[in-house]
Structure 1
Amino acid sequence: MRRLFLLLFPLFFVTCRSAKEAASTVSGPDYVIAFGSCNNQRLENVLWKEILKNDPQVWIWGGDNIYSDTDDMEVMQQHYKNQLTQEDYREVRNRTTILGTWDDHDYGVNDGGEEFPAKQESQQLFLDFMRVAENDPRRNREGVYHSELLKTPKGTIKVIVLDTRYFRSGLTEAKERGKRYMPGPYGKGTMLGERQWQWLEEELSSSDADFNLIVSSIQFLSGEHGFEAWANFPHEVARLKQQVSGSGAKGVIILSGDRHISEFSMAEIPGLSYPLIDFTSSGLTHAYTQFTSEYNPYRIGEVVSEISFGLLRFDFDRKQVTMQIRGRGNKVLGELVQKY
């Protein structure tokens, strides 16, 4: 059985319960959102049926929605078609609203950023896959960032989707053995690009939603592992923390993917009256099953290193979100309950 965590902070509480405890205590959400990442279209995704058992109103792609490391757009288009023809995913499309972003493998190049020469063409294929209308602003601007306000009888949820690929500067190669990247010089480089940063600031400061979800394809809080993470641009980490704390936005939660593991990370941010949670859900068709350990000072609970998806169950009366990592058989593998 997984360990029980109970942490008390001013003005809020958070609990992390075992899978057995979680399965017996959660009931009756007002709204359900499922999300996930790292979906190889060449592999069978056995989780789509399990996802639908939870009756989510929304499915959010967290990136690597297909694996298509290519600048040949005909090849990439065929990979998207392969995903769209999968029967179980068609059922997800029919029963939920689809939102989301891309990561590197559906962008077109592993660990790629602003230097990718086919990014404009790749963007259009991604928007086609997401069924984005031809008159949508994303069709005529750089980057796939987007926001959506979800209205329910009891309250609202704002989903703010970031693009951490199109504008991202080059990464600094690590000098330490076993790591791929390390933080670059403070103040050098960008994760989002200035135009997207200004857009994000407005989205947060103008939001009066009860909950605000920020979708980032890569992890925000965990950054010691030496792979892609916001931590490779430390000044960008500081900027997002400042934007969140200074915006007055309620119930901000970051959703991330990329790592082929799932976990909860949490940090106290100066000026913010609740903890900032980074909920990582990865991967849908393949996972880092050989995972043994990895330092993450913000981790709450344990790492899940088997295929899984993320679930958020919103309770507007209690101002509470139950976040769950679920896997085969719809089994709860980890849970975090946060009251705002």
Structure 2
Amino acid sequence: MIFTGPKFTYQLAVIISLITLSSYSQTKTYSIAFGSCDNQRLKNELWKSIDENHPVAWIWGGDDVYSDTEDMNELRENYAIQKNDSDYLQFIANKQILGTWDDHDYGLNDGGEEYPYKRESQQLLLDFLGTAKDAPERFRDGVYNSRVINFDGNKVKIIVLDSRFFRTAVTKALNSKKRLQPNPYGQGTILGKAQWKWLEEELSTSDAQFNVIVSSIQLLSDKHGFECWGNFPHEIDKLEKLIVASKAKGTFIVSGDRHIATFSSKKISNLNYPLVDFTSSGLTHVYSSFSGEENPYQVGKVVSDKNFGLLQFDFINNLVIMQIRGLENKLLGEHIQQF
């Protein structure tokens, strides 16, 4: 008997999908975790859950502490509270730690280049991350940095951006309930000239199978009226064109800031896979009353529970399993990206 028709086609597609996912689950994966928005005066209940996934590295995505201040002693003390937490100390014992800042650990809410203590604040963040005293980011403006992580001969490159030090003025929203609106096209910058040049070099010379760009603010979700790359639309275009021109393999974005977690995906001209922006936020407090917002690139549901992001790299099948996880390591959302 030969089975045909739409129902059979659908059933066959489901079977093939299940077989494919099963083959992924049987392949060894390698994990990196990330997260953002961790108030040092609130208990972070996620460290042990994150550790259950055995990540080799942890990426701080910004707002690593909350310390809107021009008092560097206060900022130093708040980092000390965070770093001396017993669960965190146990968590970082066998991991590589890297990351960036956002506004509240930078020292100024929604702050950019105008913050007067940015160089002093930079050194305190690098101290918190355990950055070597002779590292390049100790001697240049901005905390941007990169690291290649090796997994049994395979490479993942982590490219960490600084969206604060060089960022020029944003535009307050007019005649709107939103906080901000996009600058006129071409006006202002997020990364600044030196960082853009550095990023071009990092991408164009990368021989890694996967390239993870860490941005404290969202790239693709840009309609909500808060801080995001969409406040500088020409910078979005510039980054997308750079990713294409660099030919860097398996490139995607991870971001924070919003106190929610979500996946956004956008088709880019001349890029043979969708560009994904995986947002994970927050570790200690979230936008619990979230009821929705415009995001034409959203994939799946928005998560407004405490969460962290997990990246599982499958080098054989050339894919990344991206997971939003929460308390007790509960799986809250998943997106599988094939490259």
Which TM-score applies when normalising by structure 1?
Answer: 0.92
Partner of 1:159: 158
Give, in angstroms, the shift of residue 28 of structure 1.
Answer: 5.1
CA contact (8 A) 1:246 1:271 kept: no
SS at match of 1:95: coil
SS at match of 2:306: coil
Q: How many residues align?
A: 320
Give the partner amino acid of 1:263. Answer: T
Partner of 2:268: 269
- Superposition RMSD in Å: 1.5
CA contact (8 A) 1:29 1:313 kept: no
Partner of 1:14: none
1:34-61, Cα deviation, whole Å (9 max, x unpaired): 0000000000000001000000001000
In the aligned structure 1, how far is the partner of 2:210 from the partner of 2:119? 32
Give, in angstroms, the shift of residue 253 of structure 1.
Answer: 1.0
Equivalent residue runs for 1:162-173 within 5 Å: 162-173=161-172
In the aligned structure 2, how far is the partner of 1:337 from the partner of 1:27? 15
Give the partner amino acid of 1:338. Answer: Q
> Are residue 282 (structure 1) and residue 281 (structure 2) matched?
yes
What stretches of structure 1 of length at least 5 have no aligned partner? 1-16
Equivalent residue runs for 1:81-92 within 5 Å: 81-92=80-91
SS at match of 2:124: helix
Give the partner amino acid of 1:170. Answer: A
1:173-202, Cα deviation, whole Å (9 max, x unpaired): 011432000000111100000000000001
The higher relative CO (CA closer than 8 Å, separation ≥ 6) is in 1
Partner of 1:68: 67
SS at match of 2:262: strand
Partner of 1:114: 113
Query: Residues 31, 191 of structure 1: CA spacing in aligned structure 2 closer, same or farther, 3 A cutoff?
Result: same
In the aligned structure 1, how far is the partner of 2:281 from the partner of 2:81? 21
In the aligned structure 2, how far is the partner of 1:301 from the partner of 1:136? 39
Partner of 2:94: 95
SS at match of 1:149: strand
Partner of 1:6: none
In the aligned structure 2, how far is the partner of 1:190 from the partner of 1:79? 30
Identity %: 56
Give, in angstroms, the shift of residue 338 of structure 1.
Answer: 1.1
Give, in angstroms, the shift of residue 152 of structure 1.
Answer: 1.5
> Are residue 250 (structure 1) and residue 249 (structure 2) matched?
yes
Partner of 1:140: 139
CA contact (8 A) 1:33 1:313 kept: yes
In the aligned structure 2, how far is the partner of 1:267 from the partner of 1:78? 41
- Post-superposition, which runs of at least 4 consecutive aligned residues in structure 1 deviate over 4 A? 25-28
SS at match of 1:187: coil
Partner of 1:339: 338
CA contact (8 A) 1:36 1:62 kept: yes
Query: Residues 328, 28 of structure 1: CA spacing in aligned structure 2 closer, same or farther, 3 A cutoff?
Result: farther
Partner of 1:308: 307
> Are residue 213 (structure 1) and residue 212 (structure 2) matched?
yes
Partner of 2:148: 149
Partner of 1:231: 230
SS at match of 2:248: coil
